[in-house]
Structure 1
Amino acid sequence: MNKLILLTFSLLIGNGIYAQKLKEYKASNGITYKVGDDVIMGNGSGNNDQYVYMWITSALVKGGEIKSRAYNGYAVTIKKIKRFKDKKNEKVLFLVGGGNLSNYTLDIESAIETCEVKDCGNDNAKVSDKETDKYEKLKKLKELLDSGIITQSEFDSEKKKILESDQ
């Protein structure tokens, strides 16, 4: 066992690769992830919605693909964050757990890029959230009008402001 660890370590050093353990990481989607935070999974980006950038890592299984659609919307908890660098590339991997016995490795930047995580910075999702927020404001405004808290002219004025915002 010790020989295997020594061999792995010398291969990494010989290839100019080093790993750095991080307490937090600010990702390209603008979110700062910390150990203990949850990451909400999106749809897998591979064939049949399998996850390409999250794979099983346990003592018994290494590198197994996750083929289940059941992970969509599922929260995995960050246990460790590691940055790997070599002469050409940098990769940040999260060791995450989902409440079962297996741990998973999550290539966070690739998962963000392909929306395998919910907070992927997808502009369509942001537009949808703005539209939902706009309609929620209108609904509350109408409730205020119906209850007599505001007048019809106040309602019309505020409605116009809401509808004209963020166009």
Structure 2
Amino acid sequence: MKRLVLLFTFLIFGITSAQTAPKFENDTLTTSTGFKVYEGLDLKIGTGSMNDGDFKFIRTNASSMFNYYSTIGYQGLANQANSFKRSNSGLTFKVKKIMLRGNKRNGFVYYVKIGSGLINYEIDLENAIRSGELIIPDEFSPKEKSQNVTSETKYDKLKKIKELKDSGVLSEEEFQKEKDKIMIDK
């Protein structure tokens, strides 16, 4: 029975990840959605996905001397100590380096190194795109929604885009386009 469950799990997750795996060729990383990332590219930061507005998938680079290390966490919240702060929403950063981490057993993840001055940050690219922490062109936005996400009302969507406009992430023109799309749907 265990073998059957293990085989079934492998087939489901193995096939899914193989179909959408990012590819790195000729100094360019193509994400699972088709967005191309390379050194020198300007990436626009979206909004943080943690409850306090900080970023979950953009954090202090693991090799940085400013990275917080602890076995018990930062006030019980280890990820928040190294998270990219919400005040960076709407800013643009150049890609300094594309990095691959992981192993065959646990899988690999591509990270993009960005930064300014002494502090460098790393972006878990796939998760940052899915969560909206990175703003990418619409044609490369993930098409499928997670089953865990609750359905948003029209007013929830309007509130989100208003917040993005107020924080400077969206221009007035972009806000109006998004607002029109929301008002037409359903």
Q: TM-score, normalised by structure 2?
A: 0.50
- Which of 114, 117, 121 does residue 96 from structure 1 map onto? 114
Indicate the residue corresponding to 1:62 in structure 2.
67
Change (3 A) 1:102 1:62: same
- 1:30 and 2:34 matched: yes
- Which of 22, 41, 46 does residue 45 from structure 2 map onto? 41
5+ residue gaps, structure 1: 1-19, 136-167
Indicate the residue corresponding to 2:91 in structure 1.
74
- 1:108 and 2:125 matched: yes
Deviation of 1:61 (Å): 1.4
Residues 93 and 114, structure 2, Cα contact 8 Å, conserved in 1? yes
Aligned counterparts, 1:1-12, within 5 A: none
Residues 64 and 120, structure 2, Cα contact 8 Å, conserved in 1? no
Change (3 A) 1:73 1:29: farther
The Cα offsets for residues 53-76 of structure 1, whole Å up to 9 and x where unpaired, read as: 111126421254235222111111
The Cα offsets for residues 24-45 of structure 1, whole Å up to 9 and x where unpaired, read as: 1011332101011111111111
Secondary structure of residue in 2 paired with 1:51? coil
Deviation of 1:21 (Å): 9.9
Rounded Cα–Cα distance in structure 1 between residues aligned with 2:92 and 2:57: 15
Question: Larger % of strand: which?
Answer: 1
> What root-mean-square deviation, in Å, do the aligned CA atoms of Structure 1 and Structure 2 show?
3.5
5+ residue gaps, structure 2: 1-23, 69-80, 144-156, 162-172, 181-186
- Which of 50, 55, 65 does residue 54 from structure 2 map onto? 50
Aligned length: 114
In percent, how many aligned pairs have the same letter? Answer: 21
Residues 60 and 67, structure 2, Cα contact 8 Å, conserved in 1? yes
Indicate the residue corresponding to 1:117 in structure 2.
134
The Cα offsets for residues 52-99 of structure 1, whole Å up to 9 and x where unpaired, read as: 1111126421254235222111111111112234224120011112x3
Rounded Cα–Cα distance in structure 2 between residues aligned with 1:25 and 1:122: 16
- Which of 114, 132, 148 does residue 177 from structure 2 map onto? 132
Higher Rg: 1
Residues 59 and 84, structure 2, Cα contact 8 Å, conserved in 1? no
Q: TM-score, normalised by structure 1?
A: 0.55
